[in-house]
Structure 1
Amino acid sequence: MVKLYDGGAFLVNGIEIIADAQDACAAVKSKTGLDVTKKEAAEQTMAYGILKSHNTSGNMERLQIKFDKLTSHDITFVGIIQTARASGLEKFPIPYVLTNCHNSLCAVGGTINEDDHMFGLTCAKKYGGVYVPPHQAVIHQFAREMLAGGGKMILGSDSHTRYGALGTMAMGEGGPELVKQLLNKTYDIKMPGVVGIYLDGEPAKGVGPQDVALAIIGATFGNGYVNNKVMEFVGPGVDKLSADFRIGIDVMTTETTCLSSIWKTDDKIKEFYDIHGRSEEYQELNPGAAAYYDGMVYVNLSEIKPMIAMPFHPSNVYTIEEVNANLKDVLHDVEQRALVSLDGAVDYSLQSKIVDGRLYVDQGIIAGCAGGGFENICAAADIIKGKYIGSDEFTFSVYPASTPIYMELVKNGAVASLMEAGTIVKTAFCGPCFGAGDTPANNAFSIRHSTRNFPNREGSKLQNGQISSVALMDARSIAATAANKGFLTAATDMDVEYTNPTYHFDKNIYANRVFDSKGAADPNVEIKFGPNIKDWPEMSALPQNLVLKVVSEIHDPVTTTDELIPSGETSSYRSNPLGLAEFTLSRKDPAYVARAKEVQKAQKAIEAGQCPLNVLEELKPVMEKIQQICPQAGEGNIGVGSTIFAVKPGDGSAREQAASCQKVLGGWANIANEYATKRYRSNLINWGMLPFITEEAHTTLSFKNGDYIFVPDIRRAVEEKSPVVKAYVVAGSIKEIELKLGDLTDAEREIILKGCLINYYRG
């Protein structure tokens, strides 16, 4: 089904794979007549060509990228624009689209969600952007329909910014990386590795894009095969997939922890652009006759079966057939995983979901950038037509990804088929994906064609004793389950004639409602600020010496950004840095905020010219020990802050608040064995936090929660690019440890020294 090559591989004429070996280059020459080295062949990937055309450094080993377009939604654009304004923003230099698909329900906090929308509209007018009103489109569908272009690059402040199927290299990053683009700066990275995703065969009837995506995620996430690399989709199987099918696979590449994606393009993608009235944006893309990849994933589409990602991660994959055949064993495995994921905070069992030997689910949802596509919903309507979901606990909701899609589904009768069966069809909204809509009942089990199923991401709250969980599936099998009134069913088990209706895009829906400045800024427009929209607090530069208190210790194999700062209803407070910070780690370590604030008192005293020992009594014996090894440490050259330890933090969302919330509570660093994604590490750096790495095993750390760590001459270490930083654990005794900062660009070092990106641009 899915095979990973042990090393790199050549792709010859877009068809034949030649594994990297001593005679590989000779084999390539015999096939193509080309005498190429691996380095030369690596330059024949589609990814290399697009990155080269957007690189401004002149050095393809150290890229400085300028993107063509930017996009954000309403739980990120306020913070981004506020940061950019504080850093000198005068005009959006490239098209910047502000969508409103996350905080659309105005469910909490009174007026604050709509206040953010009005902030976005007035900023689009003032700085020359595009504003997409609530319920018109989810961020990524609008980008596919109106922004993507062959050979282009798009940067978005949402992790699922992926438009590779349309020939666009897109990346999801934390807000500060968009700020850099708004200030005419660059996105600086090393040249990423490129991994070929070779598609062969053709999907069976009833198998959908989520099935293919989950199979790939299951094969690549745990081993980090594509971590921070570009996934390049090639092979004859691509030709067998519709544009919508490719898009559905592509959006889920984020869950592999890759950096970006790109696909070869053909007439089906040209037709997509034609349908959307943007034929000029199509560009045919193919790898060169002899392209070299740093890895190769072979996917036989013909062997893919309907899949299910059980709680609590998209990589926890099985075939639906396996789950139904080994139900008790699979559910037991999920319950064992829950002991780690939920820290024993609640009793968690799925055994009650076994009804007459079958798995009964409580809810089905098809939604968002992954599930809400035209073909997915049409297929679901074909499956459920003439049936009904029943009048018991099971519910079924469908969210088309944009109003143009919704309109076409109304016209072709798909909505009528769904609604007659008992389905609720709703407007374009990302809520079910991150816990702001359709939260299941306590102990309920939901199946969703959406992007993630992390703990609590569906909206439950462990701190209140609430737990529900989500499994990811394709729209087709969700509809098949709905047709069987909630009993888990693979779409391949249904005898269905798929109608495959033609899609017609109505451009007037956006033309009549979306505000598009056409790049013209109007500096006379006054920005509307709601009472919840607050400026970033002042942040100090990195001191010469640093005293850190460990205020949280997380030993999960991977820590998601949802666990660092919860999604759901907290999203409404993302325009208020201090207000949002109150929720930091609230579902993972509820004591974190109070601990961090207590330590922060000392730093605030220092900034006010007062003695920190007067406000943090426990610091006195710590400082006495510190001065035994560093007598000069003291007034005028020391800072005090907090840090957390996590084994592998940062999987999941691009949200900068996972880092900024720690920063505004006095965080100076993270300590980790490794960082799950580049984007989380970048967020730490952009908020002036030290991304420390420790090589100590998490089970035998030299420090524990509550300990102090003294880092002498940290400022000099950053300035002098020291590969290893000497530090001391100050507990009952003093113990020397080593911390590493990893590779940092000169700009990143300067940002850390200045204390944050805002300070860096202020000068």
Structure 2
Amino acid sequence: MIQITNSPVLYQGGGFIPAHPRPAAERTGTMASAILRAHNTSGDPERLKIKFDAMASHDITYVGIIQTARASGLTAFPLPYVLTNCHNSLCAVGGTINEDDHVFGLSAAKKYGGEFVPAHQAVIHSYMRERYAAPGRMILGSDSHTRYGAYGTVAIGEGGPELARQLLEKTYDIAYPKVIAVHLTGAPRPGTGPQDVALALIGATFREGIVKNAVLEFFGPGVECLSMDYRSGIDVMTTETACLSSVWSTDDITREHLDILGRGDQFQSQAPAEGAYYDALIEIDLSTVEPMIALPFHPSNAYPIREFKANMADLLHQVDLDAAEQLGIRNAASLTAKIVNGQFHVDQGVIAGCSGGTYQNLVRAAQILDGHSIGADAFWLSCYPGSMPIHLELTKNGYIASLMASGASIRSCFCGPCFGAGDVPANGAFSIRHSTRNFPNREGSKPGDGQISYVALMDARSIAATALNGGVLTGADELPEIPIDHAREPYRYDDSAYRSRVYYGVDRPDPDAELVFGSNIADWPEQVPLTEDLLLTVCAAIYDPVTTTDELIPSGETSSYRSNPLRLAEFALSRKDPQYVPRAKQILAEERRRRAGEPTEALLSYDPKRTGLGSLVMALRPGDGSAREQAASCQRVLGGCANIAQEYATKRYRSNVVNWGMLPFLCDGLPEKNLQPGDQVYIPGIRALLEGDEEEIAATLLQDGKETPLTLKLPGLTREERDIILAGCLINYYAK
């Protein structure tokens, strides 16, 4: 199904031959290299300084980004900046605070010259595909699923500070990334959808880190068999492989689609050149991919539905064990109870968001369910079109009516089911979703209150097939009649809803316009520069193989408080380690006493004028998942000074740590060192190290009354990153 060559190759004569490793200046011929170099302002092929063509944020992120840039001197948006409202659209938590953010966003678009998309109009990525993505472009978004590669665009999802840098006309600084070929052949089987291909790819690459921080480049004869919706459905899920970005070859299907969107003049042909150099190769024969299911609690936990059904008891038992270990719920009813007469019974289906809510996905679901009922038992189905133009076309062609008549619930253009803010299942329920993630709590349950429910990822076609069978898990390839996915899916684009509601203010700033602040919108609290030495207390120690940003700062109802740094920080690690916040606050109180010149017991053996106090989080591999900067900023607001890890799961989380003035330490052999809350790490000379160029520092671990030498590493810190940490955070750095 998928073959991986984890060594360099050259694309030659339509095939691939082995190659020797090359420096960045000689890694040419790829689509990605051409786009990256066209946007690089450094003149150095090894160290890129990128300026983007456009940016996008949603209502969980844009307030903090604009507040950061505003504190650093923002006067106008220097590039097209789209503010969408697709995350806190329901205004379900916190009274007025979500709509207060939306009002702030509109006022910011007017003042600084931006594009404002009101709530329920579009999912952020659906909107950017329709309005901005085109071959050769680069787009930056404050959402991890910022992927528009199917349109020939290199799009990157990052934490808010990186967008603030672009607003301040700074650059996005990265080492030249690996570029990995994804060569597609064959055509998908009937009943196999884009989510199936994506889950197969994620399952084959994530755990070994094969494509981590690389750009995936899709091309080959299989591409021409796929519609733009199909391509986008695979592309958006590449985030879950831990890659940096993605890009696809373009063809007549791309051209025709841009014509439909009214942007045909933006088309350009794009394909790898003869002799293009790739750091690795992934070959996918689309005809061999089967309908898939990704079991809780990660998209890489993927199996063909056929294989799952043959081994249900064993695989579900493992989910039970994972739930007990990751969520701390020891007495939950076993999922094996959902196996009845050899069939697995599902409680809920959801087709939604940037991955599921495309036109083609919902047409296939409607065709499968047409004239049938999902039944009046426990199973229920919700469908969320990704944008109002998609919703309009589905309505005009009768597909919304078909879905409604079958018993499906039709919702607005909203991202909620992807992060636990809509359609929360019952306690113990099992939900199958064509959405982006199935991390713990992504379905909206609260394990801290003893609740647990589950999300498995599946394609819309198999979700509809399951709905057709009243909730009995069914792959779409098991249907007697299977609707076909055509590469040219008939579609008409009607953007009248946008023209009626979207504020188009790009390049039209009004300096006299006033920002409108709601009561929950707060400035970032002051952060102090790095002291000469540090005495850090471990306030959380996480030994899971991977720690997601959802665990560092939970999604769901907490999203409503992301415009208020202090209030949001109360939720930090709340579902992973509820004692983290009180521990960190205690250390922060001691540090404030030190700054005030008051005696503090914690520094009896150290010079309080040189030695700062702070907290740290230890995790083996933190930062998988969302781009949200709050996974780091909440630690910083609570006095966090460092993370210690064996490696960082994503580049974007490490960037967030740095931009919020924290040290992204690496340390070998962490499991053996057995750091625990309450342990301390003394780091003398840390400021001097950052002022220089050394990458290792000798520290001391204070544990159980013993002192043990500890080597901490800071590999790859740029001069600017060092200066940001020295200043205390990105805002301080710009203020200087």
Counterpart of 2:10, as a letter, is: F
Which secondary structure does the structure 2 equivalent of 1:447 belong to?
strand
Match of 1:753 among 720, 726, 733: 726
Instruction: Determine the structure 2 residue equivalent to 1:630.
Output: none
Separation in structure 2 between the aligned mates of residue 260 and residue 267 of structure 1, nearest angstrom? 23
Separation in structure 2 between the aligned mates of residue 551 and residue 222 of structure 1, nearest angstrom? 27
Q: Does 1:721 align with 2:693?
A: yes
Counterpart of 2:702, as a letter, is: V
**Identical-residue share of aligned pairs (%):** 58
Q: Does 1:464 align with 2:454?
A: no
Separation in structure 2 between the aligned mates of residue 704 and residue 566 of structure 1, nearest angstrom? 22
Match of 1:332 among 297, 300, 317: 317
The answer (yes or no) to whether the contact 1:199–1:301 under 8 Å persists in 2 is: yes
Which secondary structure does the structure 1 equivalent of 2:501 belong to?
coil
The answer (yes or no) to whether the contact 2:35–2:136 under 8 Å persists in 1 is: yes
1:73 deviates by: 0.1
CA shift in 2, pair 1:182/1:345, >3 Å: farther
Separation in structure 2 between the aligned mates of residue 40 and residue 638 of structure 1, nearest angstrom? 44
Counterpart of 2:11, as a letter, is: L
Q: Deviations over 1:569-618 (max 9, x none)?
A: 0000000000000000000000100000000011112233323x1xxx4x
Q: Deviations over 1:636-687 (max 9, x none)?
A: 2121010011010000000000000000000000001110000000000000
Counterpart of 2:553, as a letter, is: I
1:733 deviates by: 2.1
Instruction: Determine the structure 2 residue equivalent to 1:634.
Output: 607
Instruction: Determine the structure 1 residue equivalent to 2:459.
Output: 474
Instruction: Determine the structure 1 residue equivalent to 2:432.
Output: 447
Instruction: Determine the structure 2 residue equivalent to 1:629.
Output: none
1:42 deviates by: 2.4
Counterpart of 2:15, as a letter, is: E
Instruction: Determine the structure 2 residue equivalent to 1:712.
Output: 684
Q: Does 1:310 align with 2:295?
A: yes
Separation in structure 2 between the aligned mates of residue 754 and residue 526 of structure 1, nearest angstrom? 30
Counterpart of 2:114, as a letter, is: G
Q: Does 1:160 align with 2:148?
A: no
Which secondary structure does the structure 2 equivalent of 1:262 belong to?
strand
1:348 deviates by: 5.3
1:736 deviates by: 1.4
1:41 deviates by: 6.3
Within 5 A, what are the aligned runs for 1:571-586? 571-586=559-574
Instruction: Determine the structure 2 residue equivalent to 1:736.
Output: 709
Instruction: Determine the structure 2 residue equivalent to 1:408.
Output: 393
Q: Does 1:251 align with 2:224?
A: no
Counterpart of 1:274, as a letter, is: D
Instruction: Determine the structure 1 residue equivalent to 2:468.
Output: 483
Counterpart of 1:124, as a letter, is: A
State the TM-score, normalizing by the size of structure 1.
0.94
Counterpart of 1:211, as a letter, is: D
Q: Deviations over 1:169-217 (max 9, x none)?
A: 0000000000000000000000000000011110001110000000000
Which secondary structure does the structure 2 equivalent of 1:236 belong to?
coil
Separation in structure 2 between the aligned mates of residue 667 and residue 497 of structure 1, nearest angstrom? 54
CA shift in 2, pair 1:339/1:8, >3 Å: farther
Separation in structure 2 between the aligned mates of residue 610 and residue 589 of structure 1, nearest angstrom? 30
The answer (yes or no) to whether the contact 1:346–1:462 under 8 Å persists in 2 is: no
Within 5 A, what are the aligned runs for 1:223-242? 223-242=208-227
Instruction: Determine the structure 1 residue equivalent to 2:16.
Output: 17
Instruction: Determine the structure 2 residue equivalent to 1:540.
Output: 528
The answer (yes or no) to whether the contact 1:45–1:288 under 8 Å persists in 2 is: yes
Could you list the runs of 5+ residues in structure 1 that have no partner in the other structure? 23-36, 625-632
Within 5 A, what are the aligned runs for 1:352-391? 352-391=337-376
CA shift in 2, pair 1:606/1:596, >3 Å: same
Which secondary structure does the structure 1 equivalent of 2:734 belong to?
helix
The answer (yes or no) to whether the contact 1:702–1:729 under 8 Å persists in 2 is: no
Instruction: Determine the structure 1 residue equivalent to 2:83.
Output: 98
The answer (yes or no) to whether the contact 2:329–2:447 under 8 Å persists in 1 is: no
Which secondary structure does the structure 1 equivalent of 2:180 belong to?
strand
Separation in structure 2 between the aligned mates of residue 78 and residue 342 of structure 1, nearest angstrom? 31
The answer (yes or no) to whether the contact 1:549–1:642 under 8 Å persists in 2 is: yes
Instruction: Determine the structure 2 residue equivalent to 1:609.
Output: 597
Counterpart of 2:7, as a letter, is: G
Separation in structure 2 between the aligned mates of residue 314 and residue 376 of structure 1, nearest angstrom? 19
Which secondary structure does the structure 1 equivalent of 2:222 belong to?
helix
Which secondary structure does the structure 2 equivalent of 1:505 belong to?
coil
Separation in structure 2 between the aligned mates of residue 725 and residue 661 of structure 1, nearest angstrom? 26
Separation in structure 1 between the aligned mates of residue 330 and residue 613 of structure 2, nearest angstrom? 32
Within 5 A, what are the aligned runs for 1:332-351? 332-344=317-329, 347=332, 349-351=334-336
Match of 1:127 among 112, 129, 132: 112
Separation in structure 2 between the aligned mates of residue 582 and residue 451 of structure 1, nearest angstrom? 27
1:345 deviates by: 5.4
Separation in structure 1 between the aligned mates of residue 106 and residue 549 of structure 2, nearest angstrom? 28
1:85 deviates by: 0.5
The answer (yes or no) to whether the contact 1:542–1:715 under 8 Å persists in 2 is: yes
Separation in structure 2 between the aligned mates of residue 281 and residue 669 of structure 1, nearest angstrom? 45
Instruction: Determine the structure 1 residue equivalent to 2:408.
Output: 423
Instruction: Determine the structure 2 residue equivalent to 1:33.
Output: none
Within 5 A, what are the aligned runs for 1:27-42? 42=27
Separation in structure 1 between the aligned mates of residue 554 and residue 374 of structure 2, nearest angstrom? 32
CA shift in 2, pair 1:548/1:467, >3 Å: same
**Matched length:** 732
Instruction: Determine the structure 2 residue equivalent to 1:5.
Output: 5
Match of 2:518 among 530, 533, 542: 530
Counterpart of 1:406, as a letter, is: H
The answer (yes or no) to whether the contact 1:12–1:290 under 8 Å persists in 2 is: yes
Separation in structure 2 between the aligned mates of residue 509 and residue 44 of structure 1, nearest angstrom? 41
Q: Deviations over 1:697-743 (max 9, x none)?
A: 42x11632211111001000111121111111123022211000111
Match of 1:211 among 180, 193, 196: 196
Separation in structure 2 between the aligned mates of residue 339 and residue 118 of structure 1, nearest angstrom? 42
Question: Which piece of structure 1 moves more, 75-84 or 318-327?
Answer: 318-327
Q: Deviations over 1:53-86 (max 9, x none)?
A: 0000000100000001010000000000000000
Instruction: Determine the structure 1 residue equivalent to 2:666.
Output: 693
Instruction: Determine the structure 2 residue equivalent to 1:598.
Output: 586
Counterpart of 1:175, as a letter, is: G
Counterpart of 2:534, as a letter, is: L
